[in-house]
Amino acid sequence: MASKVEHLIMKCVDNNESFIVEAGAGSGKTWSLVQSLFYILQVKGNQLKVANRKVACITYTNVAKEEIIDRIQANQLIDVKTIHDFLWDIIKPFQRELKLELLEIVKTQYTKNTDILLTTKATTKKYADAKEKADKYKLTLDELDKFKGRIEYKAYYDRKKGIVSHDDILKLATAMIGKYNNIYKIIQDTYPIIFIDEYQDTNQEIADALLNKVKNNSSILFGLFGDYNQQIYGQTIGKVDDSKFNLKKIPKDENYRCSLEVINLLNKLRSDIEQRQSGEEKHGRCVCYYINNTELDTEEFISSKIYHDLNITEDMEVKRLYLVTKSIAKRNGYLGLHDLYDEENKNVTNRRSKNKDELLKNKDNRDCPFANFLFEIEEMIELYQNNKIQKLLAKTSYELFCMEDKTKLNDLMQRLIESTSKSNIQEIFDFVWSNNLLKQPSKIKHIYENQELHDDFFYTLMKIEYIQFQNLYYTVKKTSPFSTDHGTKGAEFDNVICFVDDSDWKTSYNFSNYFDETDAGTPRFEKTKNMLYVICSRAKYNLALVYLSTLSETAQKNLKLLFGEDNYFPKTTII
């Protein structure tokens, strides 16, 4: 049965009116999106089929894509794609323009570095780095200019040979949508309706291009589904001005996930939507502890204090969230790996840009081939250890022709498992590739074959003990009681305990400055507010926030107001 929200969406579809659904956490956003797609198929399906047109549904991850495809029973009139696949399918027919724009991207990078050479002393490291990059980009420009083949999109990039990857697609599409008007017509002729799931996570420039350029120059109906209060990724659009883009705003205020106590807390964190409990009636408790001790034994504190206060036991589902990652990395034995990927680690120099998020996100959001391959290896090991042989055989590239091959594979997997506790990452990679357990990914192969890509990051990663990654893997896995908040977006748990240490990720988040409003009006204030909302909204019944670092007096006062006097425990009252 359609709710009020679905009826409003249906009316927009009937009137060809673009809309934006602002859906709070746990509101059933995906349900509304899927029901809207079914309605379009019902009222416009034949028309779409005759005209050879489709509805586009753009998702943020492959996981979301597969979920929607499954729910709509893989209907061929609905084109469900990630943003990168959607954009590539739009721009790839424009081969001449693609090459021109790719040349422009490389030229911009070349000019940026030659400008540094003009203003920097030739004896400095900055000059040497810029000179090396300028020479590299000049070679790419010359080779790409002579290149006569087609521009291709692959998992790795080799611009000299016309091969572009993940990041290039966003830059190319942004430039081309803004410059070539005939692209609007092709998009409109193909897709009279475009839905964007989790709109707040769409790249800022791409969102601007779609809304400012495509929407304003076509009759396409745009439907945006998401929640700007759950924007926690950088360089994404976040809040969309519905009046600026002529979008009918449809608030979705149900909450099917959380207890009444959690919902009441969430409603204090935002003013645009006041959620109401829907579905099953649930009750629980929300508590906050101010510890001011970053060396706290968190497990002992959970068992001795939090279990009692929340009236829960250790056999119940409890999700531990750590904001952010250094403390959990140290506790779980992968600090070296964490620090290598930490963009804020000033001790790591002369390396490509990395981000610790690449070790924490799912594979749809990790833009690091080494992180992806490490996860592939450990997933293969886990399949073997859990005796999931058919899935193992589907994953491995090792070929079985006879019973002897099965015995050999079993022996190889045993040797691999034994090696994980005493080998470094390079040695594990070599073992996996030399025994054909997994194929060498093309992007890693490209890095191996190009000496100029062997920077400090590459050499340091290869020497790190593999056991560090194994520790990380079991820490961030969904089935583990440990995780980081970035890995939980969209998930839900009966009981959530989050430990916050402002000193760990201070350039990105600061809860003390959020609660005393020192950061008001800054990007960090908004990021912290959204992160807090995402953390709190994961809890179905009970929530505990534990502050390990120092909070200002004003922040403490505001936390007490937020949680209530009976649910706020300052350090002086914690025994």
> Which residues lie below 8 Å from residue 40, measured CB to CB, with a gap of 6+?
13, 55, 193
Domain boundary among 450, 475, 500: 475
> Which residues lie below 8 Å from residue 276, measured CB to CB, with a gap of 6+?
253, 254, 255, 263
Rounded to the nearest 5°, which phi and psi values hold at 277?
A: -70, 135
pLDDT at 14 over 90: yes
CA distances from 149 to 85, 95, 138, 142 (A): 21, 9, 20, 15
Count of structural domains within the chain:
4
What integer pLDDT is reported at residue 575 of this predicted model? 56
Q: What is the extent of the structural domain holding 194?
A: 4-90+180-252
Tell me how far apart the alpha carbons of residues 492 and 481 are, in angstroms, rounded to a whole number.
13
Residues of the chain above pLDDT 70, percent: 91
Q: What is the pLDDT of residues 144-171, one digit of tens each?
A: 999 999 999 987 778 999 999 888 999 9
Residue 429 burial by CB count (10 A; 0-12/13-18/19+): exposed, middle or buried?
buried
- For residue 574, is it within any domain? no
CA distances from 235 to 157, 203, 477, 485, 559 (A): 22, 6, 26, 18, 29
* CB 22 within 8 Å of CB 227: yes
What integer pLDDT is reported at residue 511 of this predicted model? 93
Outline where DSSP puts E strands in 240-346. 248-252, 254-255, 276-277, 286-290, 318-323
pLDDT at 143 over 80: yes
Domain boundary among 431, 456, 475: 475
Q: What is the pLDDT of residues 256-271, one digit of tens each?
A: 999 999 999 999 999 9
The enclosing domain of 509 has a CATH number of 3.40.50
Measured CA angle at 477 (ends 473, 482), to 5 deg:
100
- For residue 575, is it within any domain? no
What integer pLDDT is reported at residue 479 of this predicted model? 43
- For residue 78, is it within any domain? yes
- For residue 121, is it within any domain? yes
Q: Are 166 and 206 members of one domain?
A: no
Tell me how far apart the alpha carbons of residues 4 and 256 are, in angstroms, rounded to a whole number.
15
Q: Are 348 and 429 members of one domain?
A: yes
pLDDT level of residue 97 (50, 70, 90 thresholds): very high
pLDDT at 343 over 70: no
Q: Are 469 and 365 members of one domain?
A: yes
What integer pLDDT is reported at residue 412 of this predicted model? 96
pLDDT level of residue 342 (50, 70, 90 thresholds): confident
Q: Which residue has the tokens 């959380």?
A: 258
Tell me how far apart the alpha carbons of residues 222 and 215 are, in angstroms, rounded to a whole number.
7
pLDDT at 454 over 90: no
- For residue 195, is it within any domain? yes
pLDDT level of residue 451 (50, 70, 90 thresholds): confident
What integer pLDDT is reported at residue 482 of this predicted model? 47
Q: Which residue has the tokens 């099965």?
A: 406
Of 263-277, 408-422, 480-494, which range is least confident?
A: 480-494
Q: Are 192 and 60 members of one domain?
A: yes
Which has the higher per-residue pLDDT, 252 or 3?
252
Average pLDDT of the segment spanning 15-28: 96
pLDDT level of residue 480 (50, 70, 90 thresholds): very low
Domain boundary among 159, 174, 189: 174
Q: Are 299 and 210 members of one domain?
A: no
Q: What is the pLDDT of residues 113-124, one digit of tens each?
A: 999 999 999 999
What integer pLDDT is reported at residue 3 of this predicted model? 84
The enclosing domain of 203 has a CATH number of 3.40.50.300
Q: Are 206 and 81 members of one domain?
A: yes
Which has the higher per-residue pLDDT, 452 or 281?
281
pLDDT at 513 over 50: yes
Tell me how far apart the alpha carbons of residues 533 and 397 are, in angstroms, rounded to a whole number.
43
Q: Are 553 and 488 members of one domain?
A: yes
- For residue 450, is it within any domain? yes
Tell me how far apart the alpha carbons of residues 197 and 226 are, in angstroms, rounded to a whole number.
6
Q: Which residue has the tokens 């009681």?
A: 481
What integer pLDDT is reported at residue 351 of this predicted model? 47
Tell me how far apart the alpha carbons of residues 194 and 171 are, in angstroms, rounded to a whole number.
21
* CB 275 within 8 Å of CB 533: no
Closest CA to 9 of 382, 19, 1: 19
Average pLDDT of the segment spanning 513-537: 94
Closest CA to 498 of 286, 216, 199: 286
pLDDT level of residue 443 (50, 70, 90 thresholds): confident
> Which residues lie below 8 Å from residue 331, measured CB to CB, with a gap of 6+?
298
- For residue 228, is it within any domain? yes
Q: What is the pLDDT of residues 268-307, one digit of tens each?
A: 999 999 999 999 999 999 999 999 998 888 889 999 999 9
* CB 248 within 8 Å of CB 5: no
* CB 373 within 8 Å of CB 505: no
Q: Which two tokens stand for residue 204?
A: 């800022």
Q: Are 297 and 414 members of one domain?
A: no
Rounded to two decimals, what is the model's pTM?
Answer: 0.82
Tell me how far apart the alpha carbons of residues 413 and 430 are, in angstroms, rounded to a whole number.
14
Q: Are 152 and 194 members of one domain?
A: no
Q: What is the pLDDT of residues 168-192, one digit of tens each?
A: 999 999 999 988 888 888 999 999 9
Q: Are 298 and 169 members of one domain?
A: no
pLDDT at 414 over 80: yes
Q: Are 360 and 314 members of one domain?
A: no
Q: What is the pLDDT of residues 202-233, one digit of tens each?
A: 999 999 999 998 998 889 999 999 999 999 87
Query: DSSP string covering 362-410, please?
Result: -TTT---HHHHHHHHHHHHHHHHHTT-HHHHHHH------SHHHHHHHH
Q: Are 71 and 211 members of one domain?
A: yes
Q: How many CB atoms lie within 10 A of CB 159?
A: 21
- For residue 109, is it within any domain? yes
What integer pLDDT is reported at residue 368 of this predicted model? 82
